[in-house]
Amino acid sequence: MERVHAIGVDAAACVRCGRCVGVCPSAIFVQERPSGAVSLHGAERCIACGHCAAACPTGAVSHEAFPTERLRPLDRAALPSPEALGQLLAARRSMRCFTRQEVPDELLRRIVAAADRAPTASNARALAYVVVTDRAVLRRVVEFTLGVFARLVRLLSAAPVRWIVRPLAPGIYRYVPVFERMRREWESEGTDRILRGATALLAIHAPKGSRFGAEDANLACQNASLMAEALGVGQVYAGFVLTAARQHPGRLERLLGLGPDRRVRALLALGMPAFVYPRSIDRSPAEVRRI
C-alpha cells in the first residue's frame, strides 16, 4: 500500500498565489477561484515530488516528506548564466585518455548526488547506483564485454548467418573488425578500448520491470556527466558494456552484485583526465522543424 503523506496549507501564511495549484502533478491543491483559498483534495494521490513545498513563497505548505530542515533557499544569483552553462556544455566531451590517478571519493559522491537529483517518471525514485573502483571488478567488466562481442563475431561470421543477416542489417558488419581489434589489443597489449582505462564506473540501475527505467537512468546519467565535467573529472558513456549487457540480461548485474530483480540502464566510465580539451568545436546545425 502506498504511503499517504501528511500535507497541509497554513491559511494564515498562504498568500493565495496559486503556485502550488499550478505545479502539483497530481492536482491535489485546489483553488476554486483566482486569489481564493487553497484546499486539499485526494492527498493519497501525492507522489512526494516536493514541487508544492519548493514553489510556495511563504512556506505555507507543509509536507511530511519535506520538513523544514530539508527545504533550502535558492540563491539564483549564484546560478550559472546561460553563457556559462553554454561553455560547460561545449566543454563536455567524451574523455578516452585517463591517468592512473583515482577519482577522489568526495568527487564521486558529488557526481552520484547530482545524478540522484534528476527527475524520474511519476517521481518513482526507483533508481539506485553502484560505484565500481575495484580494478579487478573493472577488469571483469571489460572481459565480460569483450567475451560477448567475441561470441557475436563468431555468430555473424558463420556463412548461413552472414547470408541471412548481411542483406537485412548490413551496418552491423562494420563492427566485426572493430570487435576483433578490441579483443586482440586487450589480449596482446592490455589496451582497454571498453572503459578506456577509467578508474571508476558508475552503474545506474532500475527495477527489472520498470517501464521508464532506461529513460530515468539516462536523465540521471546526464546530470552525473555534467557534474563530472564541472568537477574536472573525465567521463565517457560506457555504451559497449551496456550493449553487451542487453545481449545477456542478468550477467552484468550479477558481476556487480545486484539481485535478479535489477537491470543496469546507464553506465558512465569516470577517471581523472590526461588533459583537458583546449577548444570546442561548432557542429553543423541539426535540422529543426517548427510546426
Whether residues 64 and 85 fall in one domain: no
Q: Which of 160, 246, 266, 138 is nearest to 203 (CA)?
A: 266
Out of 70, 99, 116, pick the residue that ends a domain.
Answer: 70
| CATH assignment of the domain containing 64 | 3.30.70.20
Is there a single domain that holds both residue 11 and residue 137? Answer: no
Q: Is the predicted pLDDT of residue 199 greater than 90, yes or no? A: yes
Grid cell digits, residue 55: 514553489
The pLDDT value given to residue 14: 97
- The pLDDT-based confidence of 2 (bands split at 50, 70, 90) is low
Single out the residue of 273, 286, 283 nearest to residue 94, CA to CA.
Answer: 273
Other Cβ atoms within 10 Å of 267 Cβ, number: 25
User: Are 133 and 263 members of one domain?
Assistant: yes
Bridge partners for 205 per DSSP = 128, 264
Between CA 48 and CA 58, with CA 52 as vertex, the angle to 5 degrees is 140
157-191 pLDDT, tens per residue? 777 877 887 777 777 888 888 989 999 999 999 99
Domain membership of residue 261 (yes or no) is yes
Of 268, 210, 260, nearest in space to 239 by CA:
268
Exposure on the CB side of residue 66, measured as CA atoms within 13 A: 20
| 180 & 61 share domain | no
Q: How confident is the model at residue 140 (pLDDT cuts 50, 70, 90)?
A: very high
Same domain, 146 and 232: yes
Residues 11 and 117 in one domain: no
Candidates 241, 289, 233; CA nearest to 265 is: 241
Per-residue HEC secondary structure of 178-201 comes to: HHHHHHHHHHHHCCCCCCCCCCEE
**pTM for this one?**
0.91
Domain boundary residue, one of 52, 70, 88: 70
Q: Is residue 2 part of a domain?
A: no
Q: Are residues 227 and 194 in the same domain?
A: yes
Number of domains in the chain: 2
Q: Return d(Cα 142, Cα 124) in angstroms, integer.
A: 31
Inside any domain, residue 248: yes
In a domain, 21, yes or no: yes
- Give the pLDDT confidence score for residue 155 in this predicted structure: 85
Q: DSSP label at 4?
A: P
Distances (CA, A) of 22 to 42, 110, 118: 16, 32, 21
The 10s digit of each residue's pLDDT in 214-260 is: 999 999 999 999 999 999 999 999 999 999 999 999 999 999 999 99
Residue 13: C-alpha distances to residues 5, 50, 58, 69, 166 (Å): 21, 18, 6, 19, 69
- Predicted pLDDT of residue 241: 98
Q: What residues make up the domain containing 116?
A: 80-277
Please report, rounded to a whole number, the percentage of residues in the chain having pLDDT higher than 70.
99
Q: Which of 19, 41, 70 is the last residue of a domain?
A: 70
Q: Is the pLDDT of residue 44 over 60?
A: yes
Residue 78 exposure: Cα atoms within 13 Å on the Cβ side: 3
**Are 119 and 139 within one domain?**
yes
CATH number for the domain including 104?
3.40.109.10
> How far apart are the C-alpha atoms of 140 and 147, rounded to whole Å?
10
